[in-house]
Amino acid sequence: MTSYLPTLKQLQYLVALEEHGHFGKAADACFVTQSTLSAGLRELETLLGVVLVERTRRVVRFTPLGNKVVAKAHRILREAEELADLVRSSGKPLSGDLRMSVIPTIAPFLLPRLLPGLRREQPELKLFLREEVSGAAVESLHHGQVDCVLLALPFPAGDVEHEILFSDALYVAFPKDDPRDPPEKVAPELIDESRLLLLEDGHCLKDHALAACNRPELRASAMMFGTSLHTLVQMVDNRLGLTLLPQIAIDAGILNNTDVVARPLLADHASRDIAIIWRRNSPRAEEFRMLADILRRGHAEGKCAG
């Protein structure tokens, strides 16, 4: 049996360097100094007797063997997280730490309404939130960096389980007194592709909106300028075009103090499903279902109160 094995800390340093591609950023992500991270990686290479990372002034480049080792490190760290989850799941549910990624087109609109109720109902739960776009959030989930993700479906998330919280309708937003005077419900064929403003690549809402419209030419013609829904609303308010917004953003007041009007999109699939996903076979699956039920009830109660 090997006398000395890599530590989880060393593997965390290696994975962080692969994810960030920069020693300083990797050290920040691990909450250590750059010299500590560099020393840990050198110890790992000495222990294994191989070079994993080629170091230059400009770039960090993994060797072919280094790429294989970091892929294995991801799996080991994930299994270590699952071991810790197994222990946590044996105690009181929804207590202690829970790390959740939330996508930007959900977080600012839904969390302020739901988190106070969650804190009241589960005061022992320590919820650590991380806002990132869907692709990065799913990657964080599979790498064991978060326990669950609050996102919008459909989205290719891999081998996961999920609980749908509610359906989130899509609306067409346009300047008040628009000369085209859209009807009370706007059919996709009435959308002028030359005026359509969408979020930049990486935001799944863009794909949901285009899929709902079912007009391939929109993908080629739409202007993808927005880094956030608030940015898109400001552009529409300045009569630079029109956009598509989810109902949760409208309910949260994103159109307040603007001259922007929103009307429902009239299409077969004019909505997205807000859901929680987690890794399949996670020992905390029942906890996540409990969390989904609390958030689902909180949303329903908020709708009734509104």
pLDDT score recorded for residue 288:
94
Same domain assignment for residues 104 and 71: no
Same domain assignment for residues 139 and 280: yes
Same domain assignment for residues 149 and 273: yes
Same domain assignment for residues 77 and 110: no
Say if 89 falls within a structural domain: no
Q: pLDDT (tens digit, 0 to 9) for every residue of the chain, 306 residues total?
A: 456 789 999 999 999 999 888 898 889 888 899 999 999 999 999 999 999 998 877 788 899 999 999 999 988 888 887 787 767 666 677 878 899 999 999 999 999 999 998 999 999 889 999 999 999 999 899 888 899 999 999 999 999 999 999 999 999 999 988 767 778 898 888 888 888 888 887 788 888 888 888 777 776 666 667 789 999 999 999 998 899 999 999 999 999 999 999 999 998 889 999 999 999 888 889 999 999 999 999 888 876 665
DSSP 248-291: HHHHTTTTTTSSEEEEEB-STT-EEEEEEEEETT-TTHHHHHHH
pLDDT score recorded for residue 224:
66
pLDDT score recorded for residue 251:
94
Same domain assignment for residues 113 and 46: no
In CATH, what number is assigned to the domain containing residue 52?
1.10.10.10
Same domain assignment for residues 157 and 295: yes
Q: Rounded to an integer, what distance in angstroms lies between the CA atom of residue 269 and that of residue 33? A: 49
pLDDT score recorded for residue 153:
94
Same domain assignment for residues 191 and 264: yes
Same domain assignment for residues 119 and 61: no
Residue where a domain terminates, one of 26, 50, 84: 84
In CATH, what number is assigned to the domain containing residue 298?
3.40.190.290
pLDDT score recorded for residue 37:
93
Same domain assignment for residues 48 and 156: no
Same domain assignment for residues 125 and 50: no
Residue where a domain terminates, one of 50, 84, 118: 84
Token pair of 137, please? 């959030």
Structural domain harbouring 31: 6-84
The answer to whether the CB of 222 falls within 8 A of the CB of 193 is yes
Helix ranges restricted to H, the chain = 8-20, 23-30, 34-48, 64-89, 107-121, 134-142, 204-213, 216-221, 229-237, 247-251, 285-305
Same domain assignment for residues 151 and 72: no
| 64 Cβ contact list (under 8 Å, min separation 6) | none
| Distance of alpha carbon 34 from the chain centroid | 28
Token pair of 239, please? 């009569």
Name the domain count of the chain: 2
